[in-house]
Amino acid sequence: MEQEKETRLKKLAKDVRIDILRICEKTNTGHVGSAFSVVEILLVLYSEIVKGRYPDHDRDRVILSKGHACSALYATLTRFGIMDESIFMKFASNGFRLGHHPHYEPSIGLEANTGSLGHGLSIGTGLAYAANKQNSPARTVVILSDGDTNEGSTWEAAAFAAHHRLANLCMVLDANKMQALGFTRDIIWPGEYMDRWKSFGWDVIAVDGHDVNQLTEAFSNIGVRDKPLAIIADTIKGKGVSFMENSLLWHYRPPKGEEYIKALEELSI
């Protein structure tokens, strides 16, 4: 990737984290840590990978299966002009439709309901399977969390996608290695993610999930081989704010007071 583009994306990542922090502070919303870990994945997708826009039937679609990180999705969609800023600013306000988990509204970039883990990959698999049947060039990218991989339905979808060789499907695992009650390895040992997806018949690439170059290179492999693509993105929960990184507390805690100010300072450097 050219230096200029890389610099722009890194700057954008900071801006999006600030957007997330601000909106979560304003609305007393949690899941900041989960949102921060997925920022570069979303930015690279919308900047470099996703083609077409609603209502184009053949557009690429992104499904955030880890719906609890939706503040990152909303902020990214707003930065790319897919969601109007006036909509983003009404996030989590009384009488408005944008809540802590996305509701299906394709015109503003929300391609499916998510929030109950283990749904996203099945829906994405259905989209990819249908696109193949329609000879549509549309590709589907589904972003999973570590918690998503606890769910049996995720593996049902993984098996189906591999069996039908859905090369137009990409799963990116935002592997921040934490979930609701602690470290994934202490809750349900996930095995080696690479081996697991490979054994299901997926093409697998491992990347640093905060490295925009590695992500861009990995996503460019969608459709290259005759099988679905799994990208295991090694990420840090709470990435970008020292006291939020790898902290379970920030799976829940809305940023407030001094913590908010300190976080804002760190992100603004």
Q: How far is the CB of 122 from another protein (least distance, A)?
A: 2
- Using CB under 8 A, pick the residue from 33, 102, 109, 118 that binds another protein: 118
Interactions with another protein, residue window 146-175 (CB under 8 A): 152-153, 156-157, 159-160, 163
Compare residues 10 and 53 and give the one whose CB is closer to another protein. 53
CA distance 118 to 123: 10
Compare residues 36 and 160 and give the one whose CB is closer to another protein. 160
Compare residues 126 and 254 and give the one whose CB is closer to another protein. 126
Bond from prior residue into 55 cis (ω within 30 degrees of 0): yes
Q: Is 228 near another protein (CB under 8 A)?
A: no
Compare residues 102 and 238 and give the one whose CB is closer to another protein. 102
Q: How far is the CB of 228 from another protein (least distance, A)?
A: 13
- Using CB under 8 A, pick the residue from 52, 115, 201, 254 that binds another protein: 115
Q: Is 103 near another protein (CB under 8 A)?
A: yes
**Helix/strand/coil (H/E/C) assignment for every residue in the chain:** CCHHHHHHHHHHHHHHHHHHHHHHHHHCCCCHHHHHHCHHHHHHHHHHHCCCCCCCCCCCEEEECCHHHHHHHHHHHHHCCCCCHHHHCCCCCCCCCCCCCCCCEHHHCECCCCCCCCCHHHHHHHHHHHHHHCCCCCCEEEEEECHHHHCHHHHHHHHHHHHCCCCCEEEEEEECCEECCEEHHHHCCCCCHHHHHHHCCCEEEEEECCCHHHHHHHHCCCCCCCCCEEEEEECCCCCCCCCCCCCCHHHHCCCCHHHHHHHHHHHHC
Per-residue binding letters, 55-94, with another protein (x by CB under 8 A):
--x-------------------------------------
- Using CB under 8 A, pick the residue from 3, 86, 95, 133 that binds another protein: 133
Compare residues 22 and 103 and give the one whose CB is closer to another protein. 103
Q: How far is the CB of 40 from another protein (least distance, A)?
A: 26
Q: How far is the CB of 91 from another protein (least distance, A)?
A: 19
- Using CB under 8 A, pick the residue from 72, 123, 173, 230 that binds another protein: 123
Contacts of 235 (CB under 8 A, 6+ apart): 37, 38, 41, 174, 175, 176, 209, 210
Residue 144's alpha-carbon distances to 119, 233, 257, in angstroms, are: 10, 10, 31
Compare residues 128 and 231 and give the one whose CB is closer to another protein. 128
Compare residues 154 and 214 and give the one whose CB is closer to another protein. 154
Residues engaged in binding another protein (CB under 8 A): 57, 103-104, 106, 111-113, 115-116, 118-119, 121-131, 133-134, 136, 138, 140, 152-153, 156-157, 159-160, 163
